Chains A and B, each alone.
Chain A
């Protein structure tokens, strides 16, 4: 039981951090960023290059990932999303753009970093073993802790900084925020950069545990979508809740349903569909979605 909870918490922390960036971008710009998973993968490869290839400290790799993705995110917003949003008659059109960017990043990652699975040396050795009731490697504990730290600082940033407040105003009501003198273009760009940076940060953190390969992008996006749906689209607390709920569901489902084989994920997906049919706006979303 302790093991299941610990697994779920660890999974939840990493999931929540992935979902945060996605929901932030959605809240600010109504863009469903299909390329979120690819940004996560890119972050992983940057940390891999800095930490494993160049031999610099892990923390440098982490900063490099965050910085690279923040720049990539800002550029994508300024030169791709902004002109398309301005000129398209339906905002869903950005989905095609996002998918195009996802393909593009996939192609770049394949050409630059290759097709192989990559991993980095362990950052901490050793395993916490509490009487075989709870087994948790130290590096996993550290990464889980760092993920929670990142989540907390993100919330504090959104709550108390000027930029954070401006972005929250923007998310609530774009027009009203504009009327009150919020520079919409500027904060959209910062928001997108921040969302991409979070994706890069998780990529950098997780490369130490799971490694990274170019195929992880698409499935990661889909998982992030699911968490955002559970919690409510565009709501930050919802994304965090969604991440932890999905993590727990996986951990519990895989233990309880293990003897039934292939149905664990089927059960998770089906219950998600039923849940959304009953509560169409997720846990905390606005009813109009």
Chain B
């Protein structure tokens, strides 16, 4: 790592772990804990979408894995009495395994075809959750106990914030590592020209499935964490709109930058929250700003000269 990267990392850790809690303490805006926890978790799911972009696939199906991960952990916790801290990684592994079976046939699709199939996947997940007995169908799973450890805290919001932020840091550190590894370079070659990559001996099927299952793992743990916070899950907890938003987060942050999804999520999610006082004009202002941003920065927010600080360009 270059010196300025280390500095940026230290500054980032300082801000999210100490700066934000201190600011909230000073200003008394306790509601921001949940907003920022959401941003952290949604950016984890978006990071997965970004990773599928990295192999040249537009993924609009992350909501399906978030839902699956949420249900899996909810069922483990409520029906089998498993500790949430064990259920969380298991939910990620479960969705990763599921995604191998789904990804193996559909990863052959490209461009808009892959995008559309994944979009349909989100709806399939919702309808499956409605139809299955183990998910309790339309009635959802409610009154899920808080995770041990967090339940005993006086301030559960702070607890969830730290867990979510820690997860986010781990996920993005792993992504950064992955992108700058040999596999990352191979993935980039897939993004540019699959036939060429294949002809020089890269096992593209294998590589794509690995990337897709890591992506789904992120979706699964994000979903499981959300369920722990809301202590309930319904078939509609993650829907098509969420899948689309995960994708938009990546676009907004910038597809060429590892930290794009994080920034994109922060702006899109926080932006909506900040506008809540505008009442019925909220959606109008929000969408106008979105279109304006696109006109000014069509390659994402991070395309304005931050590339030297935050990771390398594609």
Interface residues of A (CB under 8 A from B): 26, 32, 34, 80, 83-84, 87-90, 92-93, 95-97, 99-101, 103-104, 106-108, 110-111, 218, 222, 225-226, 228-229, 233, 261-263, 265-266, 269-270, 272-274, 276-277, 280-282, 285, 288-289
Query: How many angstroms from the CA of A228 to the CA of B131 in the assembled complex?
Result: 27
Contact (Cβ within 8 A) A226 B294: no
**Chain B residue at minimum C-beta to C-beta distance from A103:** B287
Contact (Cβ within 8 A) B131 A107: no
Query: How many angstroms from the CA of A96 to the CA of B299 in the assembled complex?
Result: 10
Contact (Cβ within 8 A) B299 A32: no
Interface residues of B (CB under 8 A from A): 58, 105-106, 108-113, 115-117, 119-121, 123-124, 127-128, 130-131, 240-241, 244, 247-248, 251-252, 255-256, 280-281, 283-284, 286-288, 290-291, 294-295, 298-300
Contact for A265 among B127, B244, B286, CB less than 8 A: B127
Contact (Cβ within 8 A) B112 A233: yes
In the complex, chain B residues whose CB is within 8 Å of the CB of A87:
298-299
In the complex, chain B residues whose CB is within 8 Å of the CB of A90:
255, 299
Give the distance to chain B from A64, nearest Cβ to Cβ, in Å: 23
Contact for B124 among A95, A262, A269, CB less than 8 A: A269
Give the distance to chain B from A36, nearest Cβ to Cβ, in Å: 13
13 cross-chain CB contacts under 8 A: A80-B291, A95-B58, A101-B287, A218-B240, A225-B116, A233-B111, A233-B112, A261-B131, A262-B127, A273-B124, A276-B106, A289-B110, A289-B113
Contact (Cβ within 8 A) B291 A83: no
Contact (Cβ within 8 A) B251 A92: yes
**Chain A residue at minimum C-beta to C-beta distance from B118:** A273
Contact (Cβ within 8 A) A262 B294: no
Give the distance to chain B from A115, nearest Cβ to Cβ, in Å: 10
Contact (Cβ within 8 A) B248 A96: yes
Contact (Cβ within 8 A) B109 A92: no
Contact (Cβ within 8 A) A263 B120: no
Query: How many angstroms from the CA of A26 to the CA of B113 in the assembled complex?
Result: 12
Give the distance to chain A from B118, nearest Cβ to Cβ, in Å: 9
Contact (Cβ within 8 A) A93 B287: no
Contact for B113 among A83, A107, A108, A233, CB less than 8 A: A233
Contact (Cβ within 8 A) A104 B294: no
With contacts A26-B112, A32-B115, A233-B113 taken as known, whether A269 is within 8 angstroms of B127 at the C-beta atoms is: yes
Contact (Cβ within 8 A) A93 B131: no
Query: How many angstroms from the CA of A191 to the CA of B32 in the assembled complex?
Result: 46
Contact (Cβ within 8 A) B294 A96: yes
Query: How many angstroms from the CA of A107 to the CA of B284 in the assembled complex?
Result: 5
Contact (Cβ within 8 A) A92 B255: yes
In the complex, chain A residues whose CB is within 8 Å of the CB of B251:
92-93, 95-96
Contact (Cβ within 8 A) A229 B284: no
Interface centre among B113, B131, B241 (most CB of A within 10 A): B113
Query: How many angstroms from the CA of A222 to the CA of B121 in the assembled complex?
Result: 12
With contacts A92-B58, A229-B117 taken as known, whether A104 is within 8 angstroms of B108 at the C-beta atoms is: no
Query: How many angstroms from the CA of A96 to the CA of B111 in the assembled complex?
Result: 15
Give the distance to chain B from A144, nearest Cβ to Cβ, in Å: 26
Query: How many angstroms from the CA of A276 to the CA of B116 in the assembled complex?
Result: 10
In the complex, chain A residues whose CB is within 8 Å of the CB of B105:
274, 277
Query: How many angstroms from the CA of A277 to the CA of B121 in the assembled complex?
Result: 13
With contacts A103-B286, A266-B127 taken as known, whether A93 is within 8 angstroms of B298 at the C-beta atoms is: yes
Query: How many angstroms from the CA of A228 to the CA of B117 in the assembled complex?
Result: 11
Contact (Cβ within 8 A) A101 B109: no
In the complex, chain B residues whose CB is within 8 Å of the CB of A225:
116, 119
With contacts A84-B298, A93-B294 taken as known, whether A104 is within 8 angstroms of B287 at the C-beta atoms is: yes
Give the distance to chain B from A37, nearest Cβ to Cβ, in Å: 12
Query: How many angstroms from the CA of A96 to the CA of B300 in the assembled complex?
Result: 10
Contact (Cβ within 8 A) A282 B248: no
Contact (Cβ within 8 A) A108 B127: no
Contact (Cβ within 8 A) B283 A107: yes
Query: How many angstroms from the CA of A219 to the CA of B109 in the assembled complex?
Result: 23
Query: How many angstroms from the CA of A97 to the CA of B119 in the assembled complex?
Result: 18
Query: How many angstroms from the CA of A269 to the CA of B123 in the assembled complex?
Result: 8
**Chain B residue at minimum C-beta to C-beta distance from A281:** B113
Give the distance to chain B from A40, nearest Cβ to Cβ, in Å: 17
In the complex, chain B residues whose CB is within 8 Å of the CB of A108:
284
Contact (Cβ within 8 A) A229 B113: yes
With contacts A100-B287, A269-B123, A273-B124 taken as known, whether A93 is within 8 angstroms of B117 at the C-beta atoms is: no
Contact (Cβ within 8 A) B110 A280: yes
Contact (Cβ within 8 A) A226 B116: yes
Contact (Cβ within 8 A) A277 B106: yes
Query: How many angstroms from the CA of A256 to the CA of B110 in the assembled complex?
Result: 33
Contact (Cβ within 8 A) B130 A273: no
In the complex, chain B residues whose CB is within 8 Å of the CB of A272:
117, 120
Contact (Cβ within 8 A) A111 B112: no
Query: How many angstroms from the CA of A80 to the CA of B128 in the assembled complex?
Result: 39
In the complex, chain A residues whose CB is within 8 Å of the CB of B241:
218
Query: How many angstroms from the CA of A88 to the CA of B296 in the assembled complex?
Result: 10
Query: How many angstroms from the CA of A285 to the CA of B288 in the assembled complex?
Result: 35
